C-alpha cells in the first residue's frame, strides 16, 4: 500500500514516518515544506517531496493521484497564530485541507484526516468527550482563539457530508496532546506565546528561565505518548470499521493540571541530569501570554472506548511519556521505548 503523508515534516508526521518505515509494510511518501525533523530518517520504502500545498496544488494533486491512502497532517497548531492571524488559520486549516479532500474525491482515494481534540471546545457538563455524542461548544467570535477549533470542526462536517453522499471514504483522528521526541521547536527563555506547553517548559528547564502558568495553570489536559499514537494510526488504517468515523486518540489516565505538569517535568529533569532546577513558576493571564482574543478551558478526558473496540489502548503513563520527551531534548538514549512502540 502506498501512503502519502501531507505534513510529514512536523512532530506527528516525522514520528509516524519513522514508525511506518520500520514496519516496512507500506511505501511511504512524505510531503512538506521542510525535512528538518526528518533528518536521519531513511529507508528503501520512503521518499520525500518538498512542496508547499498552498502554492503547489498541481503537484499535490498528482501525488494524491498516485496514492492508495492520503494522510493529512497539515495545520497551524499554535495558539499565538490563532490570536494574531485568524484568517491565515482558516485558509490553511479549512480551505487548503478541503482542497486535499476534494482531490481525494476526484481520484477515489481514502483520506485519514488529523483533526483536533479542540473541536469539543469548552463543554462544561460532559465528564468525557465522546466522539458521536458530546456537544461541540466554542467561545464567542471575539475570542478568535477558537478559530482553529472552528476551522477543524467545519472541515470534519464537510467530510461527514461527503461520506453521507458516498463521495469519500475518510477517517478522522482527534489527537489529545501527543508528546514525544521532536515535539515542537524550543524557544528562548522567557518567551511568551508560540509553541505549546512542553516546548515552553522544556526551554525553561534548559535555560533556567521562568515556567509560565497561563491563567494559573489550573487547566487540565490528557497527554498521549507519540508511540501510542503511532499504533493507533495503524489500527485505524487496517480496520474497515474506521471508515467514515471519527476517533479520539488519547490517554484519559494521564489527566493532569498544567501546574502539576511543571512540577513533574522539574522532577524528571532533576532525576535525568542530577541538577536541581530552580525555575520560578510564574502565573500570567492568557491575554498577557498569547494576546487579546485568547481564551482557554479545562478540557475533560477523552472517551476512547470506540477505538478500544478495534483493539487499541494506550500503554505509556504520564511520567514515561514526559521522561522520553525530555530525554530526547537532553540528547540521551531512550530506554523505555523506540519509535516503533516497543517497550
Q: Beta strands 170-175 and 110-114: pairing type?
A: parallel
DSSP letter, residue 277: -
pLDDT digits (tens, 9 = 90+) for 6-18: 999 999 999 999 9
DSSP letter, residue 193: S
DSSP letter, residue 137: B
Q: Beta strands 220-221 and 211-214: pairing type?
A: unpaired
Question: What gap in Å lies between CA 158 and CA 183, rounded to an integer?
Answer: 29
Question: What gap in Å lies between CA 307 and CA 235, rounded to an integer?
Answer: 8
Decide: 124 and 299 in contact? Cβ < 8 Å. no
How open is the CA angle 122-127-130, to the nearest 5 degrees?
Answer: 80
pLDDT band, very low/low/confident/very high, at 275 (cuts 50, 70, 90):
very high
Question: What gap in Å lies between CA 150 and CA 145, rounded to an integer?
Answer: 9
| Domain count across the chain | 1
| Cell output for 169 | 471514504
Alpha-helical runs (H) found in the chain: 11-23, 57-65, 79-84, 86-90, 97-106, 147-165, 197-207, 226-238, 258-273, 286-290, 305-308, 318-330
Decide: 15 and 39 in contact? Cβ < 8 Å. no
- Where in the sequence is the domain holding 274, given as residue range(s)? 75-330
- The predicted model gives 77-95 an average pLDDT of 94
User: Minimum mean pLDDT among 102-106, 146-150, 183-187: which range?
Assistant: 183-187
Give CA 233 to chain center in angstroms. 12
DSSP letter, residue 257: E
Residue 98 lies in a domain: yes
pTM (predicted TM-score):
0.94
| Pairwise pLDDT comparison (337 vs 85), residue with the higher score | 85
337 pLDDT higher than 50: no
Residue 335 lies in a domain: no
- The overall longest dimension of the chain from CA atoms, in Å, is 59
DSSP letter, residue 336: S
Listed as own residue / partner, the contacts of 22-26 with beta carbons closer than 8 Å and 24 or more positions apart are 22/338, 22/339, 22/340, 23/234, 23/340, 25/1, 26/1, 26/2
Length of the chain: 343
Residue 46 lies in a domain: no
Q: What is the pLDDT of residue 196?
A: 83
Q: Which of 1, 14, 162 is nearest to 66 (CA)?
A: 1
Q: What is the pLDDT of residue 151?
A: 98
Q: What is the pLDDT of residue 298?
A: 85
Residue 338 lies in a domain: no
Residue 239 lies in a domain: yes
Q: What is the pLDDT of residue 340?
A: 38
235 pLDDT higher than 50: yes
| Pairwise pLDDT comparison (59 vs 189), residue with the higher score | 59
pLDDT digits (tens, 9 = 90+) for 13-55: 999 999 999 988 999 999 999 999 899 999 999 999 999 999 9
Question: What gap in Å lies between CA 299 and CA 45, rounded to an integer?
Answer: 39
pLDDT band, very low/low/confident/very high, at 335 (cuts 50, 70, 90):
very low
Q: What is the pLDDT of residue 184?
A: 65
pLDDT digits (tens, 9 = 90+) for 159-187: 999 999 999 999 999 999 999 998 867 77
Question: What gap in Å lies between CA 242 and CA 335, rounded to an integer?
Answer: 33
158 pLDDT higher than 70: yes
Which CATH number characterizes residue 323's domain?
3.40.50.720
| Cell output for 130 | 465522546
89 pLDDT higher than 50: yes
- The predicted model gives 107-116 an average pLDDT of 98
Residue 229 lies in a domain: yes
pLDDT digits (tens, 9 = 90+) for 207-234: 999 999 999 999 999 999 999 999 999 9
What is the overall mean pLDDT for the chain? 93
Does the active-site annotation cover 148? yes
Cβ of 140: how many Cβ atoms within 10 Å? 9
Residue 70 lies in a domain: no
Q: Which of 148, 269, 290, 294 is catalytic?
A: 148
Q: Beta strands 256-257 and 220-221: pairing type?
A: antiparallel
pLDDT band, very low/low/confident/very high, at 191 (cuts 50, 70, 90):
confident
Question: What gap in Å lies between CA 102 and CA 121, rounded to an integer?
Answer: 27
- The predicted model gives 86-95 an average pLDDT of 97
Q: What is the pLDDT of residue 285?
A: 95
Q: What is the pLDDT of residue 334?
A: 60
Residue 323 lies in a domain: yes
pLDDT digits (tens, 9 = 90+) for 250-270: 999 999 999 999 999 999 999
Q: At what angle do helices 197-207 and 318-330 cross, to 10 degrees?
A: 50
Amino acid at each position: 500500500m502506498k501512503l502519502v503523508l501531507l505534513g510529514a515534516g512536523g512532530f506527528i508526521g516525522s514520528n509516524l514516518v519513522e514508525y511506518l518505515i520500520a514496519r516496512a509494510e507500506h511505501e511511504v511518501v512524505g510531503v512538506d515544506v521542510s525535512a528538518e525533523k526528518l533528518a536521519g530518517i531513511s529507508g528503501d520504502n520512503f521518499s520525500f517531496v518538498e512542496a508547499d500545498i498552498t502554492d503547489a496544488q498541481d503537484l499535490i494533486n498528482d501525488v494524491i493521484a498516485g496514492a492508495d491512502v492520503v494522510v493529512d497532517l497539515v495545520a497551524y497548531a499554535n495558539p499565538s497564530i490563532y490570536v494574531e492571524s485568524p484568517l491565515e488559520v482558516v485558509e490553511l486549516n479549512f480551505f487548503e485541507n478541503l482542497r486535499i479532500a476534494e482531490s481525494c474525491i476526484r481520484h477515489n482515494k481514502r483520506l485519514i484526516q488529523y483533526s483536533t481534540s479542540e473541536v469539543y471546545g469548552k463543554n462544561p457538563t460532559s465528564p468525557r468527550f465522546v466522539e458521536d455524542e458530546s456537544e461541540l461548544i466554542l467561545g464567542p467570535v471575539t475570542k478568535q482563539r477558537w478559530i482553529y477549533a472552528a476551522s477543524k470542526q467545519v472541515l470534519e462536517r464537510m467530510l461527514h457530508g461527503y461520506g453521507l453522499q458516498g463521495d469519500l471514504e475518510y477517517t478522522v483522528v482527534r489527537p489529545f496532546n501527543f508528546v514525544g521526541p521532536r515535539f515542537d521547536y524550543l524557544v528562548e527563555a522567557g518567551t511568551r506565546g508560540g509553541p505549546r506547553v512542553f516546548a515552553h517548559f522544556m526551554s525553561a528547564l534548559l535555560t533556567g528561565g521562568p515556567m509560565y502558568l497561563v491563567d494559573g495553570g489550573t487547566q487540565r489536559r490528557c497527554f498521549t505518548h507519540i508511540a501510542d499514537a503511532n499504533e493507533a494510526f495503524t489500527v485505524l488504517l487496517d480496520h474497515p470499521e474506521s471508515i467514515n468515523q471519527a476517533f479520539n486518540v488519547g490517554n484519559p489516565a494521564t489527566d493532569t493540571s498544567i501546574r502539576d505538569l511543571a512540577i513533574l517535568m522539574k522532577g524528571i529533569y532533576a532525576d535525568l541530569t542530577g541538577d536541581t532546577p530552580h525555575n520560578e513558576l510564574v502565573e500570567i493571564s492568557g491575554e498577557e501570554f498569547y494576546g487579546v482574543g485568547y481564551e482557554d478551558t479545562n478540557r475533560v478526558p477523552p472517551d476512547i472506548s470506540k477505538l478500544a473496540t478495534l483493539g487499541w489502548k494506550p500503554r505509556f503513563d504520564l511520567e514515561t511519556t514526559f521522561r522520553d520527551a525530555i530525554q530526547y531534548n537532553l540528547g540521551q538514549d531512550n530506554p523505555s521505548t523506540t519509535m516503533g512502540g516497543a517497550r
